[in-house]
Amino acid sequence: MSENNNNAQVLTEEMDFERPDHAWQTIRRLWRSTGDQHKRLAVVLVSVILYTFLSIIAPLYSAYIVDLLWNNIKETITNGSTFQVTWAAGGRDIVFLLLLYLATALFYTLQSFLMASFAENLSLRLRTEISEKLNRLPLAFFDRTKTGAILSRTVNDLDKTAEALQTGMLKLFTAVGMVIGSLVMMFRFSILLTLVFLAFTGIALAATNFVSAKTLQSAMKRQQCVSNVTARVEEAYSGRVIIKAFNQEEISSENMHKATEELAEATKKADFMINAINPAIRMINRFGQVLIAVLAGKMLLEGRLTVGVFQAFFQYVNQASEPLTEAAYMVNSMQSALASLERIYKLLDEEELSSEPAFPSVVEQAKGTVEFRDVRFGYTPDNILMHNINFSVKPGQKVAIVGSTGAGKTTLINLLMRFYELNGGKIILDGIDIRDMTRSNLRSNFGMVLQDTWLFGGTIAENIAYSKPGAAREEIIAAAKAARVDFFVRTMPHGYDTVLSNDAENISIGQRQLLTIARVFLCNPAVIILDEATSSVDTRTEIEIGKAMKELMKNRTSFVIAHRLSTIIDADLILFMQNGNIIEQGTHEDLLKAKGAYADLYYSQFA
């Protein structure tokens, strides 16, 4: 499956409707990891309690004021006097009620602000932890993990967690208090009206439950369609050249058309569920409210209810019904956020690279002696690829690694750079086991030029200086000259300050490779690893690259992954690999004399 499809699949797998596997464990860990923010959370809790308390008190107080004013009005009608609101008779209470509302709003703002900064602090910390963790993870982790999944951890999951903490948790806290408080008040006012309210809310909740499976299904279908369209767009973009080359534009746009039509259909259904069915369910609540209004009106006329209580009761109905109707959504989004957090923690718990030696041996500038002694290795312990690799190289020698595809050439280099750990034996640089050095010290003695060049969005000078941050302009130019790329750079619109696009698509593959050679010249390593250019560059550029590489190899130990036998005849050591192992080694003459696999291959190409 392509990487694009993988990414789309990752998104589909991590949609909004999942459940955490170990919710309590995750919550406990979150609690422990935010120890420094507990005071802030305590303030939030106090604020939530006060906010809920005031929200419950306010309608009660408003009932008192309305009744007071209503009685005053009735009195003035009977007395024939004019109605007045004095400070003592209502005015003071109105101001007090306004202050109450103001305090409620202030507490709401305070808790929202504190929760937002809590969530942002946490998300910043997790983001830092993730990016530091990614640097400590072995390459084997990246081999088995989809890029989309890692991106999803650092973007979607973090956002979801932050959002849930910021708004979801607050809503959940206040909802509980609000529903309980409002119901208590409602029961105090009228048991009958409250029972009517509960009956209708119960029916609405049951209906929501009934259709939620269907809503969920159509939302999932839509999400799948979105992923599908994304994958198609990515595919069409990244494969645009091949699509044109094979005249597949029509089929490609047909596929796209089909995917977008499916998306439109799924969106229509999902929108119908959300926009038509949900309001219909809300209607049930509204019917309940109408019935309450009729009953309450009757009670009012019979004098069993005051006007103040009548209006206060409706305030409580509103306060209780909103959290109740939103409860399912809130619980859902909290669960989905917990699942996200769980995935983040899982990434943070991944096994890291083995630790560096406590007292590492330091090799400042290696001479370049390299030895593989009884090396045993497999990408997974149960599938050993290399059984017993032995060879040694003297400073300045050129080693050519030859073998058909999948023979293990890249793997050998991966081990030399300690990108993977050995299952047995040792690799020795200048007499020191590379495990006794720090990885960064080891790698500082190596320079690599791979076919798969990596240049980043930045100037040419910055790209060359990647191997030696802070290098002077003269050094950069000298390196470019040595790599035979200086002339080309000068033809660029802004010379060394020309900005390369993100994938360096504005320059050719050969030029990219020459720039990476310049990069290695600049850091001047003792040992170099070269992946010979294959047919992806034209003959002239290939000759230029060949010359630059030859220059780079001078006075350095070099490992060359050779694709053409003609270029390795002068190698001091040829390693002929097959199925992960070295089956023959020696100079070109030695191997021809041995009349083995290498000789067969050589004569089959040059006979």
Ligand X SMILES: Nc1ncnc2c1ncn2[C@@H]1O[C@H](COP(=O)(O)OP(=O)(O)OP(=O)(O)O)[C@@H](O)[C@H]1O
Chain contacts with ligand X (rule: CB under 6 A): 143, 379, 385, 403, 405-411, 580
CB of 346 to ligand X, least distance (A): 21
Tokens of 204: 């609405």
Q: In this structure, how many other beta carbons lie within 10 angstroms of the beta carbon of residue 260?
A: 15
Edge-first strand listing for the sheet containing 446-449: 446-449, 527-531, 557-561, 398-403, 573-578, 581-586
Closest CA to 17 of 236, 250, 222, 299: 222
Pick between residue 215 and residue 410 the one whose CB is nearest to ligand X: 410
Residue type, 375: V
Pick between residue 334 and residue 407 the one whose CB is nearest to ligand X: 407
CB of 350 to ligand X, least distance (A): 16
Taking the C-alpha atoms of residue 502 and residue 268, their distance in angstroms, rounded to an integer, is: 38
Pick between residue 339 and residue 413 the one whose CB is nearest to ligand X: 413
Pick between residue 465 and residue 577 the one whose CB is nearest to ligand X: 577
Pick between residue 425 and residue 580 the one whose CB is nearest to ligand X: 580
Write the CA distances from 218 to 50, 61, 267, 272, integer angstroms.
Answer: 40, 45, 8, 10
Pick between residue 296 and residue 577 the one whose CB is nearest to ligand X: 577
CB 447 within 8 A of CB 553: no
Residue type, 468: K
Largest Cα–Cα distance in the chain?
Answer: 130
CB of 568 to ligand X, least distance (A): 14
Pick between residue 407 and residue 507 the one whose CB is nearest to ligand X: 407
Taking the C-alpha atoms of residue 368 and residue 370, their distance in angstroms, rounded to an integer, is: 6
CB of 412 to ligand X, least distance (A): 7
Pick between residue 345 and residue 379 the one whose CB is nearest to ligand X: 379
Pick between residue 442 and residue 577 the one whose CB is nearest to ligand X: 577
Burial of residue 204, with CB atoms counted within 10 A of its CB: 0-12 exposed, 13-18 middle, 19 or more buried: buried
CB of 535 to ligand X, least distance (A): 14
- DSSP-assigned letters across all residues of 2-16: -HHHHHHHHHHHT-T
Pick between residue 408 and residue 425 the one whose CB is nearest to ligand X: 408
Q: Which residues are paired to 393 by β-bridges?
A: 370
CB 396 within 8 A of CB 555: yes
Pick between residue 250 and residue 382 the one whose CB is nearest to ligand X: 382
CB 421 within 8 A of CB 138: yes
CB 69 within 8 A of CB 195: no
Pick between residue 243 and residue 401 the one whose CB is nearest to ligand X: 401
CB of 45 to ligand X, least distance (A): 49
Tokens of 199: 């009956």
CB of 385 to ligand X, least distance (A): 5
Closest CA to 368 of 393, 399, 391, 400: 393
CB of 442 to ligand X, least distance (A): 20
Pick between residue 6 and residue 217 the one whose CB is nearest to ligand X: 6
CB of 405 to ligand X, least distance (A): 3
Strands (E) in 159-292, as ranges, are: none
CB of 508 to ligand X, least distance (A): 22
CB 520 within 8 A of CB 552: yes
Pick between residue 57 and residue 385 the one whose CB is nearest to ligand X: 385
Alpha helical stretches, state H, 445-508: 460-464, 473-482, 486-491
Cα 392-397-399 angle, rounded to 5 deg: 70
CB 430 within 8 A of CB 367: yes
User: How do beta strands 424-429 and 432-433 pair?
Assistant: antiparallel
Write the CA distances from 394 to 310, 365, 369, 429, 573, integer angstroms.
Answer: 96, 15, 5, 10, 10
CB of 411 to ligand X, least distance (A): 3
Helix (H) or strand (E) holding 375: strand 370-377
CB of 509 to ligand X, least distance (A): 17
Helix (H) or strand (E) holding 581: strand 581-586
CB of 170 to ligand X, least distance (A): 45
CB of 564 to ligand X, least distance (A): 13
Helix, strand or coil for residue 381?
A: coil
Closest CA to 401 of 529, 513, 548, 593: 529
Taking the C-alpha atoms of residue 460 and residue 545, their distance in angstroms, rounded to an integer, is: 18
